[in-house]
């Protein structure tokens, strides 16, 4: 599969990406139903072997299952895949979905993603959803610190509004929307 430059970034990726919700298990969080870990890892490796190099994840996909499976699938080829993951959608003790950009939650989600993905860095880390209760600049400070530490290579926003994009850019360079 041919690769192309991802926007203004130096990384070459496949023009087709793999959405991690599809491997997120038994319908927990944002997911699409049952797939065993063995099948999920085989599917990820098959996609990689066929030239897919851009993989999208989020902790909410299967309540962490998607990222854990990607971590296992790509531990020996980590530098050859471009991983996108996100913060801002989490869950409570009853597995009820919560949208929040609280900075402590953002930091916790970043740490968990790094651990689950078995990596020292995230290629593109995004705020998954806006949060009307938290000024976007506050979690962006967490992401900027992560970028300064080399734990986040690029920062982006999902499902955003122009107002939040403009505010986020006051704190960090946003490379993807």
Residues catalogued as catalytic? 61
- Nearest residue to 159 (alpha-carbon basis) of 73, 58, 54: 58
Structure tokens at 37: 């870990």
Those residues whose C-beta lies under 8 Å from the C-beta of residue 1, and which sit 6 or more positions away, are 14, 15, 16, 50, 51, 52
Residues 6+ apart with CB under 8 A from 42: none
Which tokens hold the place of 134?
A: 């938290």
87 bridge partner residues: 127
* Number of residues written out for the chain: 177
Q: Provide the β-strand partners of residue 18.
A: 55
């Amino acid at each position: 599969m041919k690769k192309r430059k991802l926007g203004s970034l130096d990384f070459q990726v496949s023009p087709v990406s793999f959405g991690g919700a599809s491997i997120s298990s038994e319908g927990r969080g944002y997911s699409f139903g049952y797939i065993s870990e063995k099948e999920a890892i085989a599917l990820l490796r098959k996609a990689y072997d066929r030239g897919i190099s851009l993989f999208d994840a989020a902790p909410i996909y299967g309540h962490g299952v998607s990222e854990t499976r990607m971590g296992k699938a790509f531990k020996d080829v980590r530098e050859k895949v471009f991983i996108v993951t996100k913060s801002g959608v989490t869950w409570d003790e009853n597995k009820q979905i919560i949208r929040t950009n609280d900075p402590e939650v953002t930091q916790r989600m970043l740490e968990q993603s790094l651990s689950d993905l078995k990596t020292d860095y995230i290629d593109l880390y995004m705020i998954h959803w806006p949060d009307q209760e938290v000024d976007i600049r506050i979690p962006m400070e967490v992401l900027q610190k992560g970028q300064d530490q080399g734990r986040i290579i690029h920062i982006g926003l999902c499902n955003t509004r122009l107002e939040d994009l403009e505010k986020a850019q006051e704190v960090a360079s946003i490379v993807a929307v």
